[in-house]
């Protein structure tokens, strides 16, 4: 490491994760801008230069990773919530920022890394469940193992997927769940084009009702057979969740260096 322009004890990491000088901080509070520049401009430039090139790592960063954009971060947070949330992963639930900037304290890095390793093990085994048209094998809906989504909604019924099952919930009646069923048209479409369907569960023998065709979207509303199939979670590539792996690299670097993660 190159010699620091001031005593190294004068340097600290500020709230945004950047190297700062206590001497310069005190001077900026005590002096107006003109007098500060007159006395400390050169020292400030030397400290900035040292912060960028003071060690062999570019910009003083042991590790730099592009974790992901806003959508990717939101997806990561939703996965954490889906597999246990704050109760199961208290550190991981609060790891990523909601906007650019800020730091993640090194004091939390080890516990967070332990949670992240556990989280990776869990999501690497997550399946995505897909509702398919038996004849065309076209995918109609999808859902992950612990999730629940309503795909069709009317004033008195909800139809969707909960994990690996399709559910039909009608007001005042027991919920019907199935993984293999057939829709059979009843009567004629209403004035909004909805075609009522009798639903026959081929796995349980139960019967229920749908206010419209299950799908596929835009297809003819005729008798169709559907089944639920499993496939590996689509966010995995070559068996790994690479966004989580990049976060792991940052946590390991934080632990090794004793410095926080700086988000930018």
d(CA 171, CA 187): 21
Q: What is the pLDDT of residue 57?
A: 64
d(CA 147, CA 110): 29
Q: What is the pLDDT of residue 60?
A: 63
Tokens of 39: 């006395």
216: preceding bond cis by omega (within 30 degrees): yes
Tell me phi and psi for residue 122, to 5 degrees.
Answer: -70, -55
Asked whether the beta carbons of 163 and 143 are under 8 A apart, the reply is yes
CB atoms within 10 A of CB 186: 11
Q: What is the pLDDT of residue 148?
A: 82
Instruction: Walk along the chain (264 residues) in steps of 10 and give the mean pLDDT of each run.
Output: 84 80 92 91 89 69 83 88 91 88 90 96 82 91 82 93 93 95 94 94 96 92 93 74 93 91 85
Tell me phi and psi for residue 168, to 5 degrees.
Answer: -125, 110
User: If DSSP codes are grouped into helix, strand and coil, which group holds residue 23?
Assistant: helix
Q: What is the pLDDT of residue 153?
A: 93
Q: Model's pTM, two decimal places? A: 0.54
Listing DSSP states for 182-212 in one string gives EEEE-S---TTS---EEEEETTT--EEEESS
């Amino acid at each position: 490491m190159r010699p620091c322009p001031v005593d190294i004890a004068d340097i600290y990491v500020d709230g945004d994760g950047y190297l700062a000088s206590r001497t310069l901080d005190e001077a900026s509070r005590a002096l107006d801008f003109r007098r500060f520049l007159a006395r400390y401009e050169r020292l400030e430039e030397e400290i900035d230069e040292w912060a960028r090139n003071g060690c062999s790592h570019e910009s003083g960063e042991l590790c730099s990773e592009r974790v992901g954009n806003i959508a990717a971060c939101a997806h990561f947070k939703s996965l954490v919530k889906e597999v246990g949330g704050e109760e199961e992963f208290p550190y991981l639930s609060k790891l990523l920022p909601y906007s650019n900037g800020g730091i993640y304290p090194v004091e939390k890095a080890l516990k967070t890394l332990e949670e992240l390793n556990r989280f990776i093990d869990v999501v690497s085994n997550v399946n995505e469940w897909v509702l398919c048209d038996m004849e065309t094998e076209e995918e109609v809906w999808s859902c992950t193992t612990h999730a629940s989504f309503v795909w069709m909604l009317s004033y008195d019924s909800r139809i969707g997927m909960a994990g690996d099952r399709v559910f039909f919930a009608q007001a005042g009646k027991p919920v019907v769940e199935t993984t293999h069923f057939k829709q059979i048209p009843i009567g004629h479409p209403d004035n909004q084009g909805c075609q009522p369907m009798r639903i026959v569960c081929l796995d349980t023998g139960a019967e229920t009702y749908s206010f419209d065709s299950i799908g596929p979207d835009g297809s003819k509303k005729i008798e169709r057979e559907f089944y639920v199939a499993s496939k590996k979670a689509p966010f995995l590539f070559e068996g790994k969740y690479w966004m989580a792996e990049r976060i792991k690299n940052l946590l390991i670097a934080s632990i090794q260096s004793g410095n926080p993660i700086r988000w930018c």
